[in-house]
Amino acid sequence: MVKYAPRKVYIRESGGYVELSYTEFCRCRESDQTYMDKLFIPIQGCLLEVVREQYTDF
């Protein structure tokens, strides 16, 4: 259990974003190893998937 859980997680798909709850995100991360390679930045209580360049700039 995490001390702070984001309200929502936004995953990049098909040129846009898909909104997931943190619980759904954790479930996907456990069943799909590609989620382990994704990079996220915290924005206003949410996690936003970004590309490596944006992640390093953050």
Supply the mean pLDDT for the chain. 89
Q: pTM higher than 0.85, yes or no?
A: no
Residue 24: band (very low, low, confident or very high) from pLDDT cuts 50, 70, 90: very high
* pLDDT of 1 higher than 60: no
2-18 burial, b for 16+ CB within 10 Å, e for fewer? eeeebebbbbeeeeeee
